[in-house]
Structure 1
Amino acid sequence: MTDLADLPEFLAVAHAGGFRDAARVTGKSASGLSEAVRRLETRLGVRLLNRTTRSVAPTEAGQRLIDRLGPALSEVESALNVVNGFRERPAGTLKLNVPVAVARLVLPKIVPSFLASYPDIRLEVIVEDSFVDVLAEGCDAGIRYDERLEQDMIAVPIGPRTQRMAIAASPAYLGAAGRPDHPRDLLAHRCLLGRFRGGALTSPWEFEKDGEVVKVEPAGPLIVSTGGGMDLAVAAAKGGAGILGLFEAWLRPHLDDGSLEPLLEDWWQSFSGPFLYYPGRKHLPAPLRAFVDFAKAARW
């Protein structure tokens, strides 16, 4: 009889494409995962993964096993979570994958009260701006904006339903370079940009006023990675390096204290707030069900 504990570890390695990446996702050691796969292959008498120095890939037999195991293990997990639902308080781990803006602007308003309400739930938050397959990454759910939602997922609004992108610069920069009167004037200014993990820049910048939409592709002296690198961009903007475009809520403290001044405010474009998305399972894991219900009831 195959040790059933080896099966999800085999799936984790196959989905991650390597032992080290699987170890990062599962929190287990790469050597332990390697031993689990070796043990499973020995017991089944067939190679399941082709290994190279850089990655692993399933053999034909391994792929057949993956195709059958995924639904089967999901059913086992659902069955166990039905039992968890009978507990007085849901327990277990909830793993979310969210972008930096959500970690900074949305979750701080819900996480403390959620954890206080469910002390037996352990919340793990993976923060990254790239769009990922949450299930393959070992997460229960993700939070993204509507244009980046995966298909075949259930989406629940979370956070403010309307947000805006703002642009701003320091008084020192504006004193030296002048203020733009129209979005196209930004082409003559020094602008600070971000770059997504996939390589694309956070441009063009899009503006809207009275039904007119204007897109400009600004340039400037600084490009930072989106997410954590944006703190450097904010500091550079406050230091007079140029004009910065970012979430209004992210810039609001600096606008309120005067270290940055808003520009072209009547052109700022609104967009829909983020969504919590998760697979449409019949029985959700109890921690995820608790979080979904909590997000639905939260006031923003």
Structure 2
Amino acid sequence: MDADLSDLETFVAVARARGFRDAARATGRSASTLSEALRRLEARLGLRLLHRTTRSVAPTEAGARLLERLAPALDSVAAALGSLDELRERPTGLLRLNVPVSAAKLVLPSILPGFLAAFPDIRVEIDAEDSFVDILASGADAGIRYDERLEQDMIAVPIGPRVQRFAAAAAPAYLDRRGRPAHPRALLDHDGLVGRFSSGALASPWEFERDGEAVRIEPRARLIARVAGAADLLVDAAVGGGGIVYLFEEWLAPALAAGLLEPVLPEWWPSFPGPFLYYSSRRLVPPPLRAFIDHVRTLG
């Protein structure tokens, strides 16, 4: 027998309150609305559920039997829905992010510790790679990508630095030995330390720009290392005097600050917009992801 859940809830509310007025106050609905819902339910069931007088309401035998079985079930439904409210207020569960290696090293370290401290019931799993995958197909809740890699049907939220630069650097001893380039084209006479993506493509050409002039250089690669797993090896090789390395400025910053590397052509370093957290607009946002998005936005 079919019955509308709202009408069943009305029956339980009126039966428990032993009257339409008290039930109306408890539910926030009018007494006439509750009365109409009860009549509709009784007509559908073909049974009278409540005896009504001008002063009181009492369950019939059928009503008492239904109330005995139905009330605990509706209480369970209410408790289940209440647990979802708790989930919104105190998110829990797993958050999976698919990110480029550069974001795992340069963006997330300043964000994740505060997020994990603020939401102790959320676990985070990071898939860091240098290829571009479909986050939905990979099972990730969201990803981090740069503007040119974002899909049109995705929602994007700025995350991390809003402007970044690529930087070139080498050990002072290497530059003393091989000379300090005065123009990007002079890099063709130097040894390049170059990354390779998992697709097989080299992380080149190296791009430089100044005063409207853009220069693209294919360096002479003396050392090639896969970006995903060995970018730090390129930095170490540069520190050891192996050649010139070209990476995110933040990646080279510790070695530059320590004097282990010297900037090469810093006035030519190109800047570009920072990354975005992106996720599908085609589904409800899971509570762990919603909490992460809100946390990212609070960081400005």
Above 0.5 in TM-score? Answer: yes
Distance change in 2, residues 1:81/1:152 (3 Å): farther
Aligned equivalent of 1:165: 166
Aligned equivalent of 1:193: 194
AA at the equivalent of 2:144 = I
Contact 1:165 1:248 in 2 (8 A): yes
Aligned equivalent of 2:219: 218
Whole-angstrom CA distance in 2 between matches of 1:134 and 1:162:
24
AA at the equivalent of 2:84 = N
**1:255-286 CA-partner distances (Å, limit 9, x unpaired):** 01111000100000000100000000452101
CA shift for structure 1 position 228: 2.3
Aligned equivalent of 1:115: 116
Whole-angstrom CA distance in 2 between matches of 1:243 and 1:283:
47
Instruction: Give the total of aligned pairs.
Output: 220
Whole-angstrom CA distance in 2 between matches of 1:281 and 1:85:
22
Whole-angstrom CA distance in 1 between matches of 2:166 and 2:145:
16
Contact 2:210 2:267 in 1 (8 A): yes
Matches within 5 A, 1:1-300: 84-87=84-87, 88-281=89-282, 283-299=284-300
CA shift for structure 1 position 85: 4.9
Whole-angstrom CA distance in 2 between matches of 1:119 and 1:283:
22
Whole-angstrom CA distance in 1 between matches of 2:221 and 2:105:
26
Contact 2:181 2:264 in 1 (8 A): yes
CA shift for structure 1 position 297: 1.2
Name the SS for the 1:276 alignment partner.
Answer: strand
CA shift for structure 1 position 83: 6.2
The runs of at least 4 aligned residues of structure 1 exceeding 2 Å deviation read: 80-88
**1:47-77 CA-partner distances (Å, limit 9, x unpaired):** xxxxxxxxxxxxxxxxxxxxxxxxxxxxxxx
AA at the equivalent of 2:177 = A
Larger radius of gyration: 2
Segments of structure 1 that go 5 or more residues without pairing to the other structure are 1-79
Bigger mean CA offset, 221-230 vs 268-277: 221-230
Whole-angstrom CA distance in 2 between matches of 1:81 and 1:265:
58
Contact 1:170 1:240 in 2 (8 A): yes
Name the SS for the 2:164 alignment partner.
Answer: strand
Distance change in 2, residues 1:117/1:244 (3 Å): same
Contact 2:90 2:119 in 1 (8 A): yes
Whole-angstrom CA distance in 2 between matches of 1:98 and 1:192:
24
Name the SS for the 2:136 alignment partner.
Answer: coil
Whole-angstrom CA distance in 2 between matches of 1:216 and 1:267:
12
Whole-angstrom CA distance in 1 between matches of 2:119 and 2:189:
53
Whole-angstrom CA distance in 2 between matches of 1:84 and 1:193:
50
CA shift for structure 1 position 173: 0.7
The TM-score normalised by the length of structure 2 is 0.71
Contact 2:198 2:228 in 1 (8 A): no
Distance change in 2, residues 1:183/1:82 (3 Å): farther
Whole-angstrom CA distance in 1 between matches of 2:162 and 2:84:
32
Whole-angstrom CA distance in 1 between matches of 2:107 and 2:84:
28
Q: Percent identity?
A: 61
Contact 2:193 2:221 in 1 (8 A): yes
Segments of structure 2 that go 5 or more residues without pairing to the other structure are 1-79
RMSD: 1.6
Aligned equivalent of 2:34: none
CA shift for structure 1 position 227: 2.5
Q: Which has the higher helix share?
A: 2
